[in-house]
Amino acid sequence: MENSRIEKTKRLSFVERWGSAEETSASLRITLYAVILFCIALVAALAKVSLKPQPIYYIPSAQEAGIAYPNRIDKTAICGFASNWLINRNNFTPSTVKDTYGRIMRYMSPELLSMTKSGLEEEIVRVERDNISSLFSLKKEPELTESNADYKVMLIGEKVLYMGKEKVDARTLQYTITLKKVPAVEINPYGLAIAGVKQEEAEAR
């Protein structure tokens, strides 16, 4: 009888230990799943943070500072891009016109370039043949108009043409330059391209 009682006690003890082990195993399994889910969430959060472009603090001059946000182009940068392109376009000599036009073509949209490339090449030939030089300077600050599709920058400046040393023309012109956003690449890191150029005589103001 005593042996039977001891054996029964051992069986109960084994069952209790087995139940306790099962309970511990289940608890550990839940903990493991929770850790796995936490790790997945952490990896996803780290991937999102690492892939998202971050704003940077920049100091463009001694007088001004600001924050540059990804995929957002500052108005001053847009006007500066259009102004620099137009000044490059209209300042050349017979010896520099090829390099000058090569630089401006780099920032023109494919559509505009295909429409104007032959005309630009003919202009290079005429400038070199007739010994023409051009000087251009802005007379007022650029004016920017922004829409969902593009940007338009109005620029007014004086253009003077020389044939050799002789001045042959001097006019005040108004340019309306249309710009569109493009992917920034090494050859054009600005993220902008010249999509259209309209030239007309400036009205007296």
75 confidence band (pLDDT: 50, 70, 90):
confident
122-150: average pLDDT: 92
CA separation, residue 97 to residues 67, 75, 164 (Å): 37, 29, 14
Q: What pLDDT is attached to residue 66?
A: 52
Query: According to the model, what pLDDT value does residue 141 have?
Result: 92
Average of per-residue pLDDT across 23-30:
73
Q: CATH assignment of 74-201?
A: 3.10.450.230
The average pLDDT across 84-92 equals 95
What's residue 102's pLDDT?
A: 92
User: Cα 190 to chain center, whole Å?
Assistant: 6
Q: At residue 95, does pLDDT exceed 80? A: yes
Residue 55 pLDDT > 60: no
Per cent of the chain over pLDDT 90 is 51
Q: What is the pLDDT of residue 32?
A: 79
For residues 49-74, give the mean pLDDT: 54
pLDDT given at position 163: 94
8 A C-beta contact, residue 168 and residue 146:
no
Query: 161: left (phi > 0), else alpha (psi -120 to 50), else beta?
Result: beta
